[in-house]
Amino acid sequence: MGNGYKKRHNFNDFIPRYTDTYTKEMDEEGLKILKWSMFDSPDSLGSGKRFMESEPVFILDTVFRKERLKGYIHLGYTSKVYADRIGLGLESEHRIGKAIKFKCINPSHRFRLVRGLIQYGIERIRLYDHSIYFDTEHNLKGEDLSFRHF
């Protein structure tokens, strides 16, 4: 299962192991704060880059950059094997790379992050005790990521 690749348990411990086929430049491509490997399924290095939809990743990266925050991604893309092991439903947006769950405990950070997600048109947001979940399954296609006034 993934040649010994282990999912990070702490944001500060996260150091991806780059190879000839997956380089640091590929991991940071198009992102300012986050890395594509943060969205990997634990059993497959590089799966976040290959299978995550770019829209939710770019939105979250932009919100983190504008709010000057960093994040710890709990769950991004999940492979079929891993999703079955943790009990995700067959219709879960994590299986198709359109959902992100990330850690956020501080109430003012939660407010700023949720506000930023709403400003970029995210409609499906769930708040948990220690994390925030959002997906882009029902967003309109073709919208750009510019700030929208409501």
- Among residues 123, 118, 116, 120, which one has the least CA distance to residue 65? 116
Residue 118 three-state SS: helix
Spatial contact of 93 and 135, defined as CB atoms under 8 Å apart: yes
Which residues are 102's β-sheet partners? Answer: 73, 132
Would 146 be classed as within a structural domain?
no
Give me the domain span that covers residue 112. Answer: 54-140
Would 15 be classed as within a structural domain?
no
Q: pLDDT tens digit string along 123-148?
A: 999 999 999 999 998 754 444 444 43
- Domain CATH number, residue 63: 3.30.1380.10
Would 150 be classed as within a structural domain?
no
Would 90 be classed as within a structural domain?
yes
Spatial contact of 17 and 60, defined as CB atoms under 8 Å apart: no
Q: Tally helices (H) and strands (E) across the chain.
A: 5, 4
- Among residues 75, 78, 74, 73, which one has the least CA distance to residue 95? 78
* This prediction's pTM: 0.79
Q: What is the DSSP string of 9-59?
A: SSGGG------SSS-HHHHHTT-SS--GGGG--TTSTTHHHHHS-HHHHHH
Q: pLDDT tens digit string along 73-104?
A: 999 999 999 999 999 999 899 999 999 999 99
Would 103 be classed as within a structural domain?
yes
* Predicted confidence (pLDDT) at residue 30 exceeds the cutoff of 60: yes
Would 3 be classed as within a structural domain?
no
> Looking at the 3D structure of the chain, how many domains does it have?
1
* Strands laid side by side in the 124-127 sheet: 72-75, 99-103, 131-135, 124-127
Interval 31-49 mean pLDDT: 90
Would 67 be classed as within a structural domain?
yes
Q: pLDDT tens digit string along 56-75?
A: 999 999 999 999 998 899 99
Would 8 be classed as within a structural domain?
no
